[in-house]
Amino acid sequence: MDSTATALQGVKVLELRARASAGFAGRLFVDAGAEVTTVSVPSPGAPSGHLLQYLERGKGSLAIDLGAAGAGDRLRSLAAEHDLLVTDLDPREIEHLGLQRAQGGRLRARVLITPFGMTGPYRDRPASPATILALSGHTFLLGEPGEAPLTLPGDYVGYQSGLYAYSAALAVLLESRRSGVAVARTVEVSELEALASLHQHTTVNYTYSGHIRIRKGNRWDGIHPITILPCADGWFGMCIVATFWENFARWLGPQWLTDPRFALVTDRVEHADELDAEIRAAIATQTKVALQEEGQGRQRVPVGAVRTPAEILDDPHLRERGFWREEAVEGRKVIFPSVPYRFVEGQAPSPVSASAIERPA
Amino acid sequence: MAEGPLAGIRVVDLTRVWAGPLGARILADLGAHVVKVEAPNGRGAARGATRGGQFAAGDPGDRPWNRQGSFNKLNRNKQSFVLNLKKPRAHELFLELVAQSDVVIENFSAGTMDDLGLGYQALAAANPSIVYLSMPGYGLTGPYRDYVAYGPSIEPMTGLAHLLGYGDGVPRVTSIALPDATAGTVAASAVMTALWRREVTGQGAFIDLSQHEGFIPFFAGELVAHQVEPDLPPISSNRHRVHAPHNIYRCAGGDDWIAIAARSEEEWAALSRFAGQHWVDDPRFATREARKANEDALDAAIEAWTAGREKIELGSMLQDAGVPAAAVLNAPELLSEPQLHARGFFVELDHPDVWPVSYPGTPVRIDGVGPQGWTVAPTLGQHNEAILGGLLGLSDAEIADLYAAGVTADRPNS
């Protein structure tokens, strides 16, 4: 077991889960070595099927009927036996159960992940990952122009909200340990705000220059070629920002370097259809892996094969890095993603006394 | 500097573009003192000053390196310290800074810091308890270790493209570089994990973060499904494999849409009731299974109803009726979204080279308190004196010598 999986040893988390967001946060805690106990609550948005299998791995579970008399007292009492309470119940339920008042014992943070936050006019409105993606400005940017925009498969909203919640919860836990102040604080994460905070330049394009980003299918806004195109056995991806254009063109079409249609970034955007046709012709007879190996290995340009789900599960890089965790599901071996970072072993100096760590002024 | 639970934690931020600056910004928003160590060029990937569309008013002005929207959005609550790490004196100063810090984050290609002589071993020699996060595209090991990587080139390699689309078997990419956004939030989580362990054990950390891996967990359920049912047919990613209706529907206007997702019989009944269409009485739509079997007809019926309606008003009314629904918003609509405004999510920050601009804030509130003490993104080298003089104890004359020698700068040297 690598030390990433024991980093949070001794930390106890109570996951009160009605949707996937708390489940993703709990997943991160388990993967870093915390002890997570889940109370699963039926709800229209409750994770199910294979997502649930992924989220539940390695967690303990308790059955508590939230409708039973004294459920709030029991949950608050249980929370006091944990360092963190992480929940994604809706705000009314949180208040009904008095979870925002949970305190005492070892509890240091009440982490409340809700669709819209604990305040505001939409506080009690229903939401799903698809509606949060729509409202946060993401959906508008995905898909083909002229066709319906696309939402994302899986649960991007839950994952990102869970990540924010995880970091903020640990920040509060760390603060408590460093300060010696043993009170529980409330950490609130709004899923809508989580997604609205994660655009690269959607809002600043508008506030800085009045430009409204629109969806462009498999093309990037303002730079080309950043796209995927068909090759002999599938599709091939490329991200040819200006820095890499010369190497890319020397590799696949040296004549493009003297073609005025492709001279500047703005020219390549203007003549994107023509450039795509030339690239398609250049890669049509080559396999995507051969293109990837040549493009990355020899030409040093940011390209890659468009992997199918089966191919990503068998990807040699991820296998070598030990990214997958194998477990039995429904009588067959299945692999799940593990935590996407790890502590590099064998290079760290000996621990110094924690109390000896110098504090910045 | 922002107020927050990470007060007293100092982060050295060497990152560029999106993923790394986002990770460091999350830590800054939580109260960490983040010192952005920048090269003295202010161009290209560092401050993005080669992309005209993101300059304030489309005008690079006299100091384009300070007028780039994405940079200014991603680097609030940080200080800017320019160091030319190709110079030996800069190495000494950098290591002195590391000695007084808790965290170093970089998103260079694998091995770049080692090539500079500033890899983990060098930093740990200066500060044994340092938490050092390296976040190249594909991590520090494995066959793709040296691959050149940007979010849009990583995404096709994750398997998502075959799950995203209209169900026609044609792969789609997001074209908004989402692997950067996940790498940023994963980076913050990795640093917090290591800081907690350090607090308990005294052990520093060398963290290897792969942006490629960071993108995959949100569709883990789909990857498991493809193992259990290898012949799973492609579906429109706007549809749910279990629930219906679940789609994006056209509304009145040119490019106006609404997302509707009914995940239970109660939500379906609420939609039918609100629409006044008696859909629940139609045997084709009576049960979840029937709706999935007749999903084309179901979606057509719903779109016939939504097509003449205004998306924002409809979304709001459907939510009030208990139906998960929301207008598909573009940038100006997002910037005027009522819930976000009511909660003070957007934060106006005044930049000396731009003007007061509303930037997206943080989704995290602690004890109900919003942003406190936030500062706009720094101009290039704005805090050179504060770091060199205040933190590292150099005299004014020594600082002047550093400017003269090109070790530091407050405007690009090329």
B240 a catalytic residue: yes
pLDDT digits (tens, 9 = 90+) for A237-272: 999 999 999 999 999 999 999 999 999 999 999 999
Identify the residue among A113, A317, A332 best suited for mutation to test binding to B, counting B beta carbons within 10 A and taking the highest.
Answer: A317
Does pLDDT of B149 surpass 60?
yes
Residue A347 has pLDDT above 80, yes or no: no
Q: What is the mean pLDDT of residues B373-392?
A: 97
pLDDT confidence of residue A352: 55
| pLDDT of A6 above 90 | yes
Which of B173, B107, B98, B105 is closest to B128 using CA atoms?
B98
CB A186 within 8 A of CB A112: yes
**Chain A residues within 8 A of B327 when measuring between CB atoms:** 134-135
Hey, which bits of A115-272 come out as E strands? 185-190, 226-231, 234-239
> Is residue A359's pLDDT more than 50?
no
> Can you tell me the mean pLDDT for A202-217?
93
What's the pLDDT score for residue B53?
56
What average pLDDT does the structure give for chain B?
94
Statement: residue B203 has pLDDT above 80: yes
The 8-class DSSP code of residue B380 comes to T
Sheet holding A234-239, edge to edge: A226-231, A234-239, A303-305
Instruction: List chain B residues with CB under 8 Å of A53.
Output: 221, 224
Nearest CA in chain A to B196: A174
pLDDT at B360 over 80: yes
Average pLDDT value over all residues in chain A: 94
**Share of residues in chain A with pLDDT > 90 (%):** 91
pLDDT of residue B107: 93
Q: What is the pLDDT of residues B208-227, one digit of tens each?
A: 999 999 999 999 999 999 99
Q: A354 and B9 in contact by Cβ < 8 A?
A: no
Cα–Cα distance measured from residue B36 to residue B56, given in angstroms and rounded to the nearest whole number: 22
Q: What is the pTM of this model?
A: 0.96
Optimal mutation site among A139, A147, A204, A231, interface B, most CBs of chain B within 10 A: A204
- Using a CB-CB cut-off of 8 Å, the residues of chain A touching B5 are 168, 171-172, 174-175, 185
Q: How wide is the angle at C-alpha A253 spanned by C-alphas A252 and A257, nearest 5°? A: 130
* Most A-contacting residue of B145, B218, B250 (CB-CB within 10 A), to test interface: B218
Residue A348 reports pLDDT greater than 70: no
Tokens of residue B272, six digits = 């039918």
- Active-site residue identified among B33, B240, B243, B383: B240
B406: closest CA of chain A, how far (Å): 25
What's the pLDDT score for residue B115?
92
Chain A segment 302-331 residues within 8 A of B by beta carbon are 302-313, 315-318, 320-321, 323, 329-330
Residue B349 pairs in a beta bridge with B357
- Chain B: residue nearest A221 by CA? B175
Residue A68 contacts B where some CB pair is shorter than 8 Å: no
pLDDT tens, position by position, B236-254: 889 999 999 999 999 999 9
Are B72 and A196 an interchain contact pair (Cβ–Cβ within 8 Å)? no
Q: How buried is A145 (Cβ within 10 angstroms: 0-12 exposed, 13-18 middle, 19+ buried)?
A: exposed
Q: Is A202 close to B334, i.e. CB distance below 8 A? A: yes
Per-residue pLDDT, B1: 85
Q: Out of A68-72, A283-287, B54-58, B115-119, which region has the weakest mean confidence (pLDDT)?
A: B54-58
Cα B217 from Cα A156, distance rounded (Å) = 9
Percent of chain B with pLDDT over 70: 97
**CB-CB under 8 Å, B190 with A159:** no
Mean pLDDT within B33-56: 75
What is the least distance, in Å, from the CA of B107 to any CA of chain A? Answer: 13
Coil, helix or strand at residue A123? coil
pLDDT of residue B46: 62
Q: Are B55 and A209 within 8 A, CB to CB? A: yes
Closest chain A residue by Cα to residue B22: A198
- Interface contact flag, A239 B72, Cβ < 8 Å: no
Chain segment A116-173, per-residue pLDDT in tens: 999 999 999 999 999 999 999 999 999 999 999 999 999 999 999 999 999 999 999 9
What is the DSSP track for B155-170?
Answer: GGGGTGGGTSSBSSS-
CB contact under 8 A, A359 and B8: yes
Q: Determine the Cα–Cα distance for residues B53 and A262; give it in Å rounded to an integer.
A: 19
CB contact under 8 A, A186 and B155: no
Test B208 with A212 for CB contact under 8 angstroms.
no
Average pLDDT over residues B393-397: 98
**Closest alpha carbon within chain B to A207:** B357
The reported pLDDT for the residue numbered A361 is 38
- Which positions 106-135 of A are in contact with B (Cβ < 8 Å)? 116-122, 125-135
Q: Does ipTM exceed 0.85? A: yes
Residue A357, pLDDT > 70, answer: no
